[in-house]
Amino acid sequence: MTMVEAVGVHKSYGGNLVVKGIDLTVRKGEVMCLLGPSGSGKSTFLRCINHLEKIDAGTIRVAGELVGYREHRGRLHELKDAEIAERRAGIGMVFQQFNLFPHMTVLQNLTEAPVLVRREKPAAARERAHELLARVGLSDKAGAYPRSLSGGQQQRVAIARALNMRPGLMLFDEPTSALDPELVGEVLDVMRDLAADGMTMIVVTHEIAFAREVADTVTFMDDGVVVESGPPAEVLGNPQHPRTQAFLAKVL
Amino acid sequence: MKPTDTQASPVLKVVPVRRYGQWLTTAVLLGLGALAVRSILTNPRFQWDVAFGYFLNAEVLDGLLTTIWLTLVAMAVGIVMGVLMAIGRRSDNPVVSGAAALYIGFFRGTPLLVQLIFWFNLAALYPVLSIGIPFGPTFASGSANVLITPMVAAILGLGLNEGAYMSEIVRAGLQSVDPGQTQAAQALGMRKGQVFRRIVLPQAMRVIIPPTGNETIAMLKTTSLVSVIAIPEILFQVQAIYSRTYEVIPLLITVSLWYLILTTVLTIGQMYLERHFRRGDLRTPQRSFLAVFLARRTEQEQP
Ligand SMILES: Nc1ncnc2c1ncn2[C@@H]1O[C@H](COP(=O)(O)OP(=O)(O)O)[C@@H](O)[C@H]1O
Ligand SMILES: [Mg+2]
C-alpha cells in the first residue's frame, strides 16, 4: 500500500522556484532517507507533505488523501484550517531544533495535542505518554521542563511527542544536525527502533551510515529535483549520477 | 622566560578601590532625606491628623472603590482591544492590518483628556444611536445622552486608549515567540486558534506581563483624569471634600497614600505573575504561587 505519493510537486518562495517537480512514492512501512546538499529543497518538500507549506503545482497524497485539498468534480478545493489540521494530526514531524514547548513539562508536551486535538481523556494520553517516555529512555524526565534536558534528550522527547498522536507517517528534518556528536547516537537508536517497529518514515539526514543501515530507499535531491533514488546499496554504493557522486565524495 | 609559578610568590593583601565619590553621594542623600523627613513631620501645615482622619472616610472609600473598579474595567477593555489589534496588525489582509494601524495611530496620537471629553460629548455629534442594518431597518435605538453616561464615556475613553498601547505590548510579545513553536504545534494538528491560545500566547506572556503591570499602575493614576467628566473616583471625591472644608493639602496626602498603597499591591501581584510565566526558564523547576494554586484546584476537581 502506498503511504505517500508525490506527483510533479512545485513550490516557490516569491518567484524563487525551490522545489521543481518532485515525483516520489513511499510505501507503508518503508523508511526513505532524503539526502542532498544544503538548500536543495529537502526541508521545503518535507513541509509540503504535511501542508506547512502550500504547494504551487502538483499533488501530494498521504494514505490516499490529498494534503490540503479535496477533489470534487475534477477540481481541487482548498481545505479549511480545521480540516487541514485534522489531516496533519496523523503525520508526525520532528524538527532540527526540537521545538519542544518550553512552558510545559515533558509530560504536558506529550499530552497536549492528543487531549486538545483528538479530545482524548487526559488519563489515557498520560498513560501512553509514560509508555513512550519509557521507550525513548526518559521515564524519569516526565516532570522536567525541556530547558533542563540535553539536546539528545529533547529530541527524544520530540519524537515521543509526535508518536503520542499515533501517526501513520513520521517526517524527520535533520533530527541530529543540531546535536553534539556524542548525543547523535541516542536519537538514531530511537529512530532505528521505530523503523524496526514498521513505522513509515521520511528522514532528511546527513548520517550516511544510518541511511545505509536503516533505509529501504535512499533518495538524492539536488536543486529542487530528485536526481537519483533506489536501495541504499545502489545509491550509496554505486551512484550513477555525477552530482550524487560529487555529494557523497564530500560527506563520506 | 621562566614560568613565574616556580618562584614562591608572597601572599599579597588586596586593597579595594576607595570610592570617595560614592561616600559623598551617600552622605548628601542621607542629609537631604533627614531634612525632608524632619520638615514633613514638624511642619504643622501638613496636618497629618486631618490626612489620616479622612483615610477611612466613607466618601473617600467610595471614590477608592470607583477608582479600583474603573482601573480593572478599563484595563480589561484595553487588554482585549490590544490582543485584537495585535492580531489585526499581523493579518495578511491589508485592510485588516491597515484598520488596526489606524486605530493605534489615532488613539496614541491624540491626548486622552481630549478623547474623554469627546466621548462625554458624543451626543452633540450623534444625538441618536441605533442598532440596525446600514441603509436598512433599525432594531433598536436610543438617545446618546442616555446611552453614553459619564461612566460609559470614561470606560470607552480609558479602555480604547489603553488598547492602542496594549496592542504594541502584545505585538512585541507575540514576535518574541520562535516561529518553530507555531510550526511544531501545527504539525501536531492544532488549529490556528489552539496554537495561539495554548502555545504562542502563554510564551508571549513572559514579555507581555512586565509592561502590562506598568500600564495597570499607570492606569490606576490615569483614572484621576475622569474627574473632569464628573466620575466620582477618589480624586473627585477628595476635591469635593476640600472644596467645602479647604483642607487641600491633607486631603491630597490622603489620596496620595491610597494611590501608593494600591500601586504597591499591584507591584507585588505583578511579581507573582512574572514568576508564574517564567516557569520552564529555570534549570531546576520552581513552582510559582499561581501554579501551585491552580494545581491544587485541578487536583481537587478530580474524584
Ligand atoms: N520561508 C522561506 N522563504 C523564502 N525562501 C525560503 C524559505 N524557506 C526556504 N527558502 C529557500 O528555499 C531553498 C531551499 O531551502 P530548504 O528547503 O530549507 O533546503 P534544504 O532543507 O535542502 O537545505 C533555499 O534557497 C532557501 O533559502
Ligand atoms: Mg533543511
The residue of chain B nearest to residue A87, with distances taken between CA atoms, is: B189
Q: Does position B131 have pLDDT exceeding 50, yes or no?
A: yes
Give backbone dihedrals phi and psi of A24, rounded to 5 degrees, phi first. -160, 160
Q: Relative to the CA of A221, which ligand 1 atom is closest?
A: 22
Question: Cβ separation of B203 and A117 shorter than 8 Å?
Answer: no
Residue A219 has pLDDT above 90, yes or no: yes
Q: Which amino acid is at A79?
A: L
Whether the Cβ atoms of residue B227 and residue B239 lie closer than 8 Å to each other? yes
Q: How confident is the model at residue B302 (pLDDT cuts 50, 70, 90)?
A: very low
Res A43 pLDDT > 60: yes
What is the percentage of chain B residues whose pLDDT exceeds 70? Answer: 90
The mean pLDDT of chain A is: 94
Residue B188 to residue A112, Cβ atoms within 8 A: yes
Q: Is the distance from CB of B96 to CB of B88 less than 8 angstroms?
A: yes
Using the mean position of ligand 1's atoms as its centre, give its distance from the Cα of residue A47 in Å: 11
Q: Which residues of B touch A100 (CB under 8 A)?
A: 184
B292 pLDDT more than 50: yes
Q: Is the pLDDT of residue B303 over 50?
A: no
Whether the per-residue pLDDT at B5 is higher than 60: the answer is: no
pLDDT tens digit sequence for A170-208 = 999 999 999 999 999 999 999 999 999 999 999 999 999
CA B113 to chain centre: 18
pLDDT at B299 over 60: no
Chain B residues touching A47 at Cβ < 8 A: 183
Query: With an 8 Å Cβ cutoff, are B285 and A162 in contact?
Result: no
Report how far residue B254's alpha carbon sits from residue B59's, in angstroms, rounded to the nearest whole number: 12
Percent of chain B having pLDDT more than 90?
59
Contacts of B285 in chain A (CB under 8 A): 105, 143-145, 148
Task: Give the model's confidence band at B17: pLDDT under 50 very low, under 70 low, under 90 confident, else very high.
Answer: confident
Instruction: Report which bound ligand comes closest to the CA of A177.
Output: 2
State yes or no: pLDDT of B286 exceeds 60: no
pLDDT at B301: 45
- Per-residue pLDDT tens digits for B36-74: 999 888 888 888 888 889 999 999 999 999 999 999 999
Average pLDDT for chain B = 87
Report residue B211 CA to chain centroid gap: 7
- Sign of CA pseudo-dihedral A208, A211, A217, A219: negative
Q: Identify the CA nearest to B226 among candidates B158, B129, B141, B124.
A: B158
Grid cell in block for residue B76: 480589561
* ipTM for this model: 0.94
Atom from ligand 1 closest to the CA of residue A47: 17
CB contact under 8 A, A85 and B183: no
* pLDDT for B79 beyond 50: yes
Task: Please give the grid coordinates belonging to residue A193.
Answer: 527502533
Helix count and strand count (H, E) for chain B: 14, 2
Q: Supply A88's cell numbers.
A: 496533519
Specify whether the CB–CB gap between A98 and A178 falls below 8 A.
yes
B142 DSSP β-pair partners? B129
User: Tens of pLDDT along A108-125?
Assistant: 999 999 999 999 999 999
CA of B217 to the centre of ligand 1 (A): 46
How do the domains of chain B map onto residue ranges? 65-130+139-233
Q: Does position A215 have pLDDT exceeding 90, yes or no?
A: yes
Top-confidence range, A157-171, B21-35, B105-119, B243-257: A157-171
Cα atoms in the 13 Å half-sphere on the side-chain side of A251:
17
pLDDT tens-digit map of B174-208: 999 999 999 999 999 999 999 999 999 999 998 99
User: Which of the four pLDDT bands, split at 50, 70 and 90, describes residue B7?
Assistant: low
Kind of pairing, strands A200-204 and A65-66? Answer: unpaired
| Section B15-43 average pLDDT | 89
Q: Indicate if the pLDDT at residue B300 is higher than 60.
A: no
Query: Which member of A52, A143, A148 has the closest CB to residue B186?
Result: A52
Cβ-defined contact of A147 to B280 (cutoff 8 Å): yes
Q: What top-level class would CATH report for the domain B65-130+139-233? A: mainly alpha
The CA-based angle B148-B153-B158, given to 5 degrees, is 155
Residue B14: predicted pLDDT: 85
**pLDDT band at residue B295 using 50, 70 and 90 as cut-offs:** low
Ligand 1 center to A13 CA (angstroms) = 8
Residue with CA nearest ligand 1 atom 6: A13
Over 60: is that where the pLDDT of B127 sits? yes
d(CA A179, nearest CA chain B) in Å: 17
For residues A5-12, give the mean pLDDT.
Answer: 95
Q: What is the mean pLDDT of residues A105-110?
A: 97
Residue A161 has a pLDDT of 98
Q: Could you tell me which of A240, A242, A222 has the C-alpha nearest to residue A231?
A: A240
| Partners of residue B180 in chain A, C-beta under 8 Å | 95, 97, 99
**pLDDT at residue number B289:** 59
Tell me what percent of the residues of chain A surpass a pLDDT of 90.
89
The residue among B101 and A252 whose pLDDT is bigger is B101
Residues with CB under 6 A from ligand 1: A 13, 18, 36, 38-44
The pLDDT value given to residue B1: 47
